[in-house]
């Protein structure tokens, strides 16, 4: 097998992507489908799930609030039943959380961010890891962290705390699961263009008393390449990590951010 062949994920991979009816998760799911994988996605929004299924009838899908352990248990069981097992788990679900000074953040906002962004990772792992241990197809776990998982992020402390925690979770699990031939890596997206980032920019602009355009320009000045990344950039890395080319990559927190210098 040559290097180009190694870049192609094995056809028939069984992939579960959380929080994947829209945004980065949807781009990852679509990329795996184009690579002839069998894909199951879940999302909290039933209408978004239905739209995702309408876009691609090959997609398996379920509805779940990933902060709810019982709902996660249900979708993982459903995914494994529909796919006939599991080879790749993409722990993608997450929310932006509140924007504001630490003393102004409400406890409910903090707890919801931790539950959605971090606890959900554990809920999926506890159910999926035993199944991944049973597959012989070089199983893998991809966790969605953020550039905020390697840099400080003022006024976004709940979000940053979860993303740093995910990086630590991945590095620890890579050691724990390596003897079972399970690779574990994190992707750290930078400033990803789209509606969600526009909302983040708007909220931070309001918190700092700036216009949207001024706040956006401030974000771009922090990026060495002076451009945002796309959801497809993130999906391409996920495909690479799931391919034979990534068979010896584990325990890594890989940034896709145009070299974001600071937040």
Gyration radius from the chain CA atoms: 18
Q: What sign results for the dihedral spanned by CA atoms 180, 249, 19, 208?
A: positive
Q: Are 42 and 63 in contact (CB under 8 A)?
A: yes
The residues with which 189 forms a beta bridge, in sequence order, are 256
123 catalytic, yes or no?
no
157-177 and 120-132 are packed helices; what angle lies between their axes, rounded to 10 degrees?
A: 20
Nearest of 103, 107, 187, 200 to residue 141 by alpha carbon? 187
Beta strands in 130-256 (DSSP E): 140-144, 183-189, 253-256
Q: How many helices (H) and strands (E) does the chain have?
A: 10, 7
Cα separation of 51 and 63, whole Å? 12
DSSP string, 207-242: HHT--HHHHHHHHHHTBTTSS-B-HHHHHHHHHHHH
Structure-block tokens of residue 52: 């995702």
Q: Which of 40, 123, 153, 159 is catalytic?
A: 159
Give φ, ψ of 154 to 5 degrees: -60, 145
Q: Which residues are catalytic?
A: 159
């Amino acid at each position: 097998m040559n290097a180009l062949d190694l870049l192609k994920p094995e056809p028939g991979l069984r992939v579960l992507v959380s929080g994947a009816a829209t945004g980065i998760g949807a781009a990852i799911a679509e990329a795996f489908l184009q690579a002839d994988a069998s894909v199951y996605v879940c999302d909290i929004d039933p209408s978004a799930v239905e739209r995702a299924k309408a876009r691609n009838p090959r997609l398996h899908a379920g509805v779940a609030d990933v902060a709810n352990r019982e709902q996660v248990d249900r979708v993982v069981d459903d995914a494994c039943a529909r796919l006939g097992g599991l080879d790749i788990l993409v722990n993608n679900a997450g929310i932006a959380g509140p924007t504001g000074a630490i003393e102004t953040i409400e406890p409910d906002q903090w707890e919801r961010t931790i539950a959605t962004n971090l606890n959900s990772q554990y809920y999926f792992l506890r159910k999926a890891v035993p199944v991944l241990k049973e597959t012989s197809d070089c199983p893998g776990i991809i966790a969605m962290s953020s550039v905020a998982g390697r840099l400080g992020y003022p006024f976004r402390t709940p979000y940053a705390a979860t993303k740093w925690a995910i990086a630590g979770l991945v590095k620890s699990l890579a050691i724990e699961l390596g003897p079972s031939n399970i690779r574990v890596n994190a992707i750290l997206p930078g400033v990803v263009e789209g509606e969600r980032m526009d909302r983040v920019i708007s909220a931070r602009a309001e918190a700092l008393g700036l216009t949207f355009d001024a706040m956006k320009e401030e974000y771009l000045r922090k990026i060495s390449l002076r451009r945002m990344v796309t959801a497809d950039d993130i999906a391409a890395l996920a495909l690479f990590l799931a391919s034979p080319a990534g068979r010896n990559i584990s325990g890594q927190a890989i940034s896709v951010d145009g070299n974001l210098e600071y937040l």
